[in-house]
Structure 1
Amino acid sequence: MIVVAGLDGATRAGYDSSRNWVSQLSLGPGGPLGVANLALCAVWLLAFGLALRHHLRLSRAGRWAARSVLVAGTAMLVVAAVPIDPGLDYPPGVPAVHTVTGYLHQAGALLLFVSGTAAAVLLGRCLSPRFPLAAPAGVAVAAVMVLAFVAASVLVTLDITGTVTGTPSGLLERVALGAGLCWIGGVGLLLSRAR
């Protein structure tokens, strides 16, 4: 998802990958590609969560890890289905607005972040009996996600209010998303090889 968003953003007039957020690619020309990218990632997360339910069903942490991934996939579906409000000068020439739909999108994004962070820690705990470094790796991924997402949220607020403009909040959002998605993908590879 991050690679597709990067390539898509690089071809969009007025889109700045370091400033603008991934879901803003669902706006303006080419918006359907941005929506499809988010929706396909959601489907991938849901499929992985369902597979985890069967693979990790014997442990309590495994059940919660699967649930966390399923919640993350559902939240990503919300992010894909409910459009973000225009802002941060994207799409070009469209004024920033704040709507109920935009707030619902933000709620979905927050749920995605919280459930993804929980999944990072829980998946590490599930793998630790076979892979001793998995638990600290899961905590490290979760820490990167928290730091990057909180910093992105602060910076985007400063940017929206005009206090500091042109902040790299989009880059930090990509760090949080990339860390979580790469960890989930890595866990999937480890589990498929372990079987």
Structure 2
Amino acid sequence: MRLTMILLGCGVAAGVLIPALLLIDGATRPGYSLWHNGASQLGTGERGWLQTANFVIGGLLLLAFAAGLRRALPPGRAAVWATFLLVVCGLAAVVAGIVPTDPALGYPPGRAEVVTTAGRIHGLAGLVLFVALAAMPLVPARGPHGGSRGWTVYSRWSGALVITFAIAAGVAFRLDAQGVVRPAPAGLLEHAALVVGFAWITVAAARLLRRNALREV
């Protein structure tokens, strides 16, 4: 039981660490705009190592949370899918941290905008991450462990908002890159998707922690 509690606590840590560090670093990074630039671009330029560590450590915490989730949830299809999606999310975060994205939208300043193999790999990892973040809240919304109606509604809205914000961020990025809308709010929309997705992970982990603590008592 103690190991399960520790592993579930890793979910709370990951859910808070990743978006908080992204927002704080983005707000204080010279030349970077939370409105304009994507979250992945914090892995490049000045203090790029900080976001590399953030994604890698956060991804490992998500993998630990997946192990705790598998131990805490009752057997069933929903438990299998929730654990699988969380593993995918964690692995995608680790890859996104190790493999940096390409310069884009004027960041890092003075760097030419190019498309590299590393950038494509990072982009694929980012896509997988957002798909997993959007899908995870929908699994427990249908599962027998979903809980109250309020939790179900919150989970469904979280999944819908993640995918909506992520798609809108992609559209904004394209419009900006093509010079149609400048500066487009690609960064704002992408950060919003991440905040919503990781907020759900934090709340889900906290609920499971509370449930297991009550069982221990």
TM range (shorter): over 0.9
In the alignment, which residue of structure 1 is the partner of 2:112?
95
Distance in 2 between the 1:135 and 1:76 partners? 26
Asked if the contact 1:128–1:135 (Cα under 8 Å) also holds between the matched residues in 2, the reply is: no
In the alignment, which residue of structure 1 is the partner of 2:73?
56
Q: Does 1:65 align with 2:82?
A: yes
- Structure 2 unaligned regions, length at least 5: 1-17, 213-217
Q: Does 1:22 align with 2:39?
A: yes
Distance in 2 between the 1:129 and 1:40 partners? 28
Q: Does 1:5 align with 2:5?
A: no
Distance in 1 between the 2:25 and 2:147 partners? 39
Q: Does 1:184 align with 2:201?
A: yes
- Structure 1 residues 60-100: Cα deviation after superposition (integer angstroms, max 9, x where no partner): 11110011011000011111111100011000111111111
Cα RMSD, aligned residues only: 1.4
Asked if the contact 1:127–1:134 (Cα under 8 Å) also holds between the matched residues in 2, the reply is: no
Distance in 1 between the 2:116 and 2:109 partners? 19
Percent identical: 36
Residue 5 of structure 1 deviates from its aligned partner by 1.5
Where do 4+ consecutive residues of structure 1 move more than 6 Å?
none
Distance in 2 between the 1:129 and 1:37 partners? 30
TM-score w.r.t. length of structure 2? 0.85
Between stretches 78-87 and 55-64, larger displacement belongs to 55-64
Residue 121 of structure 2: SS of its match in structure 1? helix
In the alignment, which residue of structure 2 is the partner of 1:107?
124
Residue 8 of structure 1 deviates from its aligned partner by 1.2
In the alignment, which residue of structure 1 is the partner of 2:148?
131
In the alignment, which residue of structure 2 is the partner of 1:35?
52
Q: Does 1:82 align with 2:82?
A: no
Residue 176 of structure 1: SS of its match in structure 2? helix
> Given residue 198 of structure 2, which amino acid in structure 1 is its aligned partner?
L
In the alignment, which residue of structure 1 is the partner of 2:14?
none
Q: Does 1:147 align with 2:180?
A: no
In the alignment, which residue of structure 1 is the partner of 2:13?
none
> Given residue 131 of structure 1, which amino acid in structure 2 is its aligned partner?
S
Asked if the contact 1:20–1:170 (Cα under 8 Å) also holds between the matched residues in 2, the reply is: yes
Q: Which has the higher contact order (CA 8 A, sep 6+)?
A: 2
Count of residues paired in the alignment: 195
> Given residue 10 of structure 1, which amino acid in structure 2 is its aligned partner?
A
Asked if the contact 1:56–1:63 (Cα under 8 Å) also holds between the matched residues in 2, the reply is: no
